[in-house]
A and B are shown apart, each in its own frame.
Chain A
Amino acid sequence: MKKFILISLLFSTVTFVFGQTFTQSGVVRSIDGEELIGVSIIVKGTTKGTITNFDGEYSIQVNPGDKLQFSYVGFVMREITSQVGKTVVDVEMAPDQTTNLEEVVVVGYGQAKRLTMTGSVSSVSVREIQAVPTSNIQNTLTGKLPGFFSQQRSGQPGKDASDFFIRGISSLNDDGNKPLIIVDDVQYSYDQLQQINVNEIESISILKDASTTAIYGIKGANGVLVVKTRRGETGEPSINLRVESGLQTPIRKPVFLNSYQTALLVNEAYENDGLISEIPFSTDDLEAFRDGTDPYGHPDVNWYNEVFNPVALQGNVNLDVSGGFKNLRYFITGGYFSQNGLVKNFSDPLDAVNTNYFYRRFNYRTNLDFDVNDNLNMRLDFSTRFMNINEPGSMNATGEIYNFERMTPYSAPVLNPDGSYAYLDTKDFRPTLNARLANEGYKRSRRNDINILYGAGYKLDFVTKGLSANLRMAYSTIDENFRRVSRGSSGYPTYKFHPDAVDPLDIEAGYYTINPNQVYAYSTYGITSGVDQALSDLNIQASFNYARVFNINHDVNAMLLYNRQSRTHENSASVPNNFEGYTVKTGYKYKNKYLVDVNLAYNGTDRFGKDNRFGLFPAIGLGYTISEEDFFPNETVQMLKVRGSYGLVGSDAAPGDRYLYRQVYEMGGGYYFGENPQKYDSYREGAIGNNNVTWEKAKKLDIGFDVVALNRLSFTIDFFHDIRYDQLVTRYDIPLILGIGVSPVNVARTQNQGFDGSLGYQERIGQVNFNTNLVFSYAKNKVLYKAEAQQRYPWLAETGKSINQPFGYKFIGFYTPDDIALIQAEDSNAPAVPNTDTPVQAGDLKYQDLNGDGVIDDFDKTAIGKPNLPTTTLGWTIGANWKGFSLSLLFQGSFDYSFSIVGTGIESFKSQFQPVHQKRWTLDRFNSGEEIDFPRLTTIPSTVNSAEGYMSDFWLINAWYTRLKTVDISYQLPKRNLPAYINSMKFYANAYNLFTITNYNKYQQDPEIRTNSAGDAYMNQRVFNLGVQVSF
């Protein structure tokens, strides 16, 4: 493209010379300091112009006051007025973030110009996401792409990739909502994607509507994420080194109450339950907790602080070389990413068994393009990734700390006075967490990914002009195995120290007793290993491509593709997953004005029975670029386009067994017969096969508008309406008297609609380039039909609600002492009571009795709150640069969703006591009108106050958050300050998840954690990162 412009401009430029003219010259550079070749410079209002040469230099005859327009593909046009005496003017150009009409985006099996596209595609270039200091691509896309929804569920090194969805979800099957991932036209799995180093990537697109996804046919219904990796270009080798290192720290550190505060609440709970005689702590105990005078008898330990460091390191090094000779172009990169966990180092220096979390990854990629002759070109892409994930062998450290049944602030000292490990004074004598981390070993997963892509393209112009044939073969393998080094919890000694005991043998040391479950000697570690994943995947594609422009005005392109894929899980008994199909893609553009795309896929998978494997998926896209009309005034509005698409796509994800169409007999538990019992096998019928099982289908409608105005404003919006039908669900309306399980059937139907788009603006104010972009997405789904049985009460029905709508009780306040009096008097006005064994007391959660039968039971559950997936997400990028400095901020927010937490995350006596527990209901607090955020404390786990037993909207937060997702500040050193062999050098600092505003504070959790979780997810991380990038 650059070449083309260069040449055409060279020949079309005519230079006239006027009086008073002088020669203005200079160098045009990007704001990164790179010389720009082929920038066109035109004197406004004339045809006079020139272009920059290979060193970015220009020279032009001007009159004073002439307005020179500098324009270059992908950069913001600049206008400079020539002034007498200023003969040398260097010009700096900023990349066009928003209004680039020539922008090319990656779509399925090719690229498309945004100007002439009819489908709905969002894309992002690597430059925009490289600044995010995370190891996963998924995490870098948050807030950048309209229609992209993500939630990062955990911050554990190596396991912190976000769940993501394109335009929300529309399938009732969990797997049926996962977008298809395509890297260089080859399908990747989620975990393969998260292994890719951002530095290997050139651009990422998401395909959202039927017109762009129909070519993937049976796999396209959930949207497609398309990644294109970087390739070399002819030219001098360019060597690029990036070194960065960062500090991670939890976004939110949970606060737990100390021993004294906890003990008070524990006593109160016993008192509430009428267990006066069993109250565990005397006033002396409480006093000892409060003044800390007895650290061994009455410990006060903040286990979080004892186990976790406040910060952990991460680092990232990338080196890439790219360039090309006449016939060979290359891109070679290697990268190393390392992320440490927050757990302190407890390992014994003698054995150095490292139980901390960590993640290490090494990436390597070579992409080669080889022009064999004028017609034949070949490519070879080779990439590998090696990774290691380490984690403690027998526990989830966060979960342990939260779990009140496992440990409390007073359950044991961190270490005994003699330095030995202590154990917890509870029923199972569990050693302290630091002792377990020091002694119980690790699980280390090691994974190798190897991907080879071999391709050849042959121009068939001798058959007909514009025709070419392509062949591509991709092979990938994954081998993931683990090694576990472990020593059971009884394989090492821990002691209890009795400060008061008098030991006749050793008066000074007090008296130590060993954990009754343990031995005095340390046992050796046991080492086990196994295979987590072994997978091979072969993909073969053959295509004919045709692209030709007739009479300048008629632009025709077509593609016929044959594609087959076979994916084999080598460590499981199933046979390979096979996929096969044909794709036809055609496009016609008249003067870039009237646009038609017709795409068709005929493909299938062997997941379904012989007669139901193949489906035909057509889609049509239409576009009208009004701004290309002659009558259209292009001065203020550079582009105005209306486009729409409609089509059918499928999803072959099916729940459970792959062979839903067959009835398979299952092995039962066996049966023992005989005086000396011998096991005899038993078999029984498996679920009834569904002969008609087939793919889910989605009819997708998309209407979009693209506007570029004033050369600085751009606006895109897409409205969509999808009907997902023939969804595979297990029928809930089949009586159990059938006597057997049934395979899912294609009956459910949902609707998903919404809109997404972006609004961008850029401006140059003085020396400052400024740009901002707001990305918005809204998607709301509704279950239209799901074969649900007719419920006894309308509020129990899930049909008509959103997918994954939570159900529970409606909280209507706390039982008051008056309520309890009425209940005890069996008064007819008494509020309804739950169907539990423990009578309700004042301060318990009171729920609405929807069916009015006086009992709170399952029939009083109704839809509460919203699903956990936000319907609305926003991303707002603000960027500015001035000379070598640049600053970029990304605010990201998600809205309109619900979150709750249960079990060890919040419930009293299951979770550590937290500040919210201090806002519990007590009679005093109730009488004095204080804010009450938590029900009466109780020791009984199954009361109405349990979130697990009685989920209600009391526990739900109608959540939202806004966070400063990334901040990136960089400084590009002026080239003149650099040695000649260095092309450019940049220092940068960035931060990730810098601050968050949310209404989650009650639960001390990150707002992206999975709902109804036990609060034991590894803390999501905030990262501060420093780096340097050098190009040679």
Chain B
Amino acid sequence: MLNSKFFKAMKKNKYILSLLAIAVFLFSACTDNYENFPVDQFTNSYFFSKTDSMGVQVRQFLNSIYDLLPSGHNDHGGDYLDTATDDALSIKQDDPDVYKLLVGRYSANTRIRPAMEWSRYYEGIRQVNVLIDSIEVVPIILKFKNVDGEEKALNHTIKAEARFLRTLFYFELVKRYGGVPLIHDKIFKLNDDLELPRNSFEECIDYMVSELEDIKMDLRSVTMADNTEYAHAATYEAAMALKSRILLYAASPLFNGQTISTTKDEQKELVGYTDYDAERWKKAADAAMDFIESQGHKGNKSNALTKNFMAIFLSYYNKSSNPELIFFRQGGKSKTVETKNGPLGFSGNALGNGRTNPTQNLVDAYLMKDGKLRGESTLYPYNPQKPYENRDPRLDLTILHNGSNWLGRVLETNQGGANNPTGSAEYTRTSYYMRKFMGNFGATPEYSNNQHLWIIFRYAEILLNFAEAENEYLPAPSKDVYDAIIALRERAGIEKGSDKLYGLEPNMTKSQMREVIRNERRIEMAFEEQRFWDIRRWRAAEDIFSTPLRGMSIVKSLSSVTYTEVDLVNVVFNERQYLFPIPYSEVIKNSNMVQNPNW
């Protein structure tokens, strides 16, 4: 053979064989020219780095907590949560999620998210806990000023922002479920005992309020130095607004006095306070008034009502042009709100899918120009064939109706009209479309990109919170209550009237005023995810749904247009629907988890 001498030699020398073997092993080692560690993956020490003096990575971590904030624009299966109330219907007739919410077709096992969100908020709570546990090691050199002008290290504000978000997440849970398990600062490990019981409603409220008190001086305040990158950040004002809302809910009938009836003792302290205490209204009123008197129009005027109602939703905080904004979830610049909700009958860049159809019930709630309810005004009598004449200007800024000017055209929402086609799969069910949140597209031929914020707190709510709580606390409404409502009506463009009461009656009773405030809240904050929860905390849903949801049927003939109101949906509201069921899976996994009544 060719090299048999070599092999003979090798045969003699056994060591050569082992050398050969070693050579092959070396060869194999040399071919492994890949890393043996996943170098592209990040771990905790990257985000909480001892070298990150600008806090860049920490803020990336914080961003994902902000990302858990709700964004209400069309996020319930493509619809606004308000389409599950008496304010609107979804254009979809194929059983959309909001319809199931509306009629109560859900259970502990068939959950509709995000309305029945649970785990999302516990995820947020955990991420906050991770952040506040780890952030101390990060040597951030940046500083900022708090509401009193004191300098604080950015570490503190990031931590406080995170705790604010955690409080907001708890509030989202409590308004859905009542008392929920409080985690505090604990970061659970896999083998920890996770069979936590629910804390009582009272403990949850106390915890949230104390958290807000604790962090408020670590937060920034408006106006901030960089209103671009940090415009979304939680501020002192946001914390105070959240506190106002929490205390208002805590004082409301569903939790204070008229809790859901239950025979099980262990449920009683979960579904609300076990007793009624009028002082809770006082606390809520004080929290709102504190805001008004420090940051609000009676204080340093950091926050006030924005003159242009439409502009509130389209631009950042600005002390002169948009002082109303307190806290929001950032959107991008887009025209998705317009495309999804704009009227049917347009195409291309003017395309609208007419998703949200306000009800006649909501349209009826809008005042006449003088601040009186429809039919009650002597100055502007309601004409059923010209139903949108002489109305509260907010109607036109909230709802598109037959005859509205839109995209340079006059909308025709009559049966078979250009904007309410018959024979197609989808048509507006009420003859109305939503207008709110959209840009100023009355005269332009098509939509263009707009900044669409999802506003979580705005100053108008503080006024409404105050008016409601103060009215409930006092035997009869005070001037402050009147003033709060008047401020809103004035901004809306309601006529002042000779008595300067903007349509309010003098010397109204508590319950008359209650109706006024509730109606004002409905029309001022329509589609802002208030109504769904308001009708629950007022414990008023059974009553409200005792009348059907209505729409308008508009028939146009050669000579005339006829408006006829039509009944669309009847809803039976069951008492257990005031609170959502705890997820079935949570109840079976945790023997200490008590389900809400009757789920």
Q: A-side interface residues toward B, CB under 8 Å? A: 327, 372-373, 375-376, 427, 458, 462-463, 469, 471, 473, 538, 540, 542, 564, 566, 568, 573-576, 578, 606, 658-659, 662-665, 668-677, 680-685, 688, 690, 732-740, 742, 745, 789-792, 835-837, 857-859, 941-942
Chain B interface residue count: which class? Answer: 35 or more
Which of B61-69, B395-403, B520-528 lines the interface with chain A? B61-69
- Complex A-B: 9 CB contacts under 8 Å: A373-B8, A542-B24, A673-B232, A675-B451, A680-B229, A735-B593, A737-B586, A791-B588, A837-B103
CB 8 Å contact bits of B340-361 with A (1 = contact, 0 = none): 0000000000000000000000
What residues make up the interface of B, taking CB atoms closer than 8 Å to A? 1, 4, 7-8, 11, 14, 17, 20-21, 24-25, 28, 31-32, 34-44, 46-47, 57, 59-61, 63-67, 94-95, 99-100, 103, 105, 107, 109-110, 118-119, 122-127, 130, 181, 183, 188-190, 194-196, 228-232, 316, 330-333, 425, 451, 583-590, 593
Given A373-B1, A684-B61, A668:B67 Cβ within 8 A: yes
Q: Contact between A538 and B130 (Cβ–Cβ < 8 Å)?
A: no
Closest to A542 in B: B21
**In the bound complex, do residue A735 and residue B66 qualify as a contact, i.e. CB atoms below 8 Å apart?**
no
CA distance A789 to B586 in the complex (A): 9
Closest B residue to A737 by CB, please name it. B122
With A575-B35, A680-B60 given, is the CB distance from A373 to B67 under 8 Å? Answer: no
Q: In the bound complex, how far is the Cα of B65 from the Cα of A373, in angstroms?
A: 72
- Given contacts A566-B32, A576-B32, A688-B189, is CB(A671)–CB(B66) below 8 Å? yes
5 A-B pairs with the lowest CB-CB distances in the bound complex, closest first: A739-B126, A682-B63, A682-B64, A736-B119, A684-B64
Q: A736-B583, A857-B107 are in contact. Are A673 and B330 (CB under 8 A)?
A: yes
CA distance A578 to B107 in the complex (A): 48
What distance in Å separates the Cβ of A556 from its nearest Cβ neighbour in chain B? 22
B584 touches A575 (CB 8 A): no
Alpha-carbon distance A673/B105, docked complex (angstroms): 38
| B411 vs chain A, min Cβ distance (A) | 24
Q: Which residues of A contact B7 (CB under 8 A)?
A: 372-373, 375-376
* Closest residue on chain A to residue B583 by CB atoms: A736
* A789 vs B20: C-alpha distance when bound (angstroms): 58
Determine the distance from Cα of A737 to Cα of B230 in the docked complex, in whole angstroms. 30
Interface of A is mostly: loop
Interface pair B588/A606, CB less than 8 Å apart: no
| A737→B194 contact, CB < 8 A | yes
Q: Once the chains are docked, how many angstroms separate the CA of A376 from the CA of B125?
A: 68
Are A665 and B43 also in contact (CB < 8 A) when A375-B11, A684-B61, A835-B105 are? yes
A545 to chain B, nearest CB (A): 14
- Taking a contact as CB atoms under 8 Å apart, the answer to whether A685 and B190 are in contact is no
Pick the residue among B37, B40, B123, B331 that contacts A740 (CB under 8 A).
B123
Question: Is the Cβ of A575 less than 8 Å from the Cβ of B34?
Answer: yes
Closest B residue, CB atoms, query A731: B190
List of B residues within 8 angstroms of A682 by Cβ: 60-61, 63-64, 66-67
Across the interface, which residues of B come within 8 angstroms of A676, CB to CB?
Answer: 333
Q: Which residues of B contact A658 (CB under 8 A)?
A: 38
Do A733 and B589 touch across chains, with their CB atoms under 8 A apart?
yes
| In the complex with contacts A680-B63, A740-B123, A857-B109, A373-B38 CB distance below 8 A | no
> Chain B residues near A737 (CB, 8 Å)?
122, 181, 183, 194, 196, 586, 590
A672, A681, A739, A789: the one within 8 Å of B183 (CB): A739
- Interface pair B24/A683, CB less than 8 Å apart: no
Q: How far is the CA of A15 from the CA of B278 in the complex (A)?
A: 123
With the chains together, A671 CA to B231 CA distance in Å? 13
List residues of chain B with CB within 8 A of the CB of A606: 36
Cross-chain contact A671 with B41 (CB below 8 angstroms): no
Additional A-B contact list (16), CB under 8 Å, known A675-B231, A677-B333, A789-B588: A373-B7, A458-B17, A538-B28, A542-B24, A573-B38, A575-B39, A675-B316, A677-B331, A685-B130, A735-B195, A735-B589, A736-B119, A789-B589, A837-B95, A858-B107, A858-B110
Q: Would B584 and A734 count as touching, CB distance under 8 A? A: no
Known contacts: A427-B425, A858-B110. The answer to whether A736 contacts B36 by CB under 8 A is no
Query: Are B105's CB and A578's CB within 8 A?
Result: no
Determine if B24 and A734 form an interchain contact, defined as CB atoms under 8 angstroms apart: no
Most chain-A Cβ atoms within 10 A of its Cβ — which of B25, B60, B195?
Answer: B60
Interface centre among B1, B14, B110, B331 (most CB of A within 10 A): B1
Q: Does the CB pair B332–A745 fall under 8 Å? A: no
Interface centre among A376, A742, A942 (most CB of B within 10 A): A376
Please name all residues of chain A whose beta carbon is closer than 8 Å to the beta carbon of B95 when the two chains form the complex.
837, 942
C-alpha gap A540/B20 in the complex (Å) = 14
Bound-complex Cα distance A677 to B452 (A): 11
Interface pair B589/A734, CB less than 8 Å apart: yes
Complex interface: chain B residues within 8 A of A733 (CB): 589
Residue of B nearest to A573 (CB): B40
When the two chains form their complex, are residues B228 and A675 in contact, meaning their CB atoms are under 8 A apart?
yes
Given A671-B67, A738-B194, A683 and B42 touching (CB < 8 A)? Answer: yes
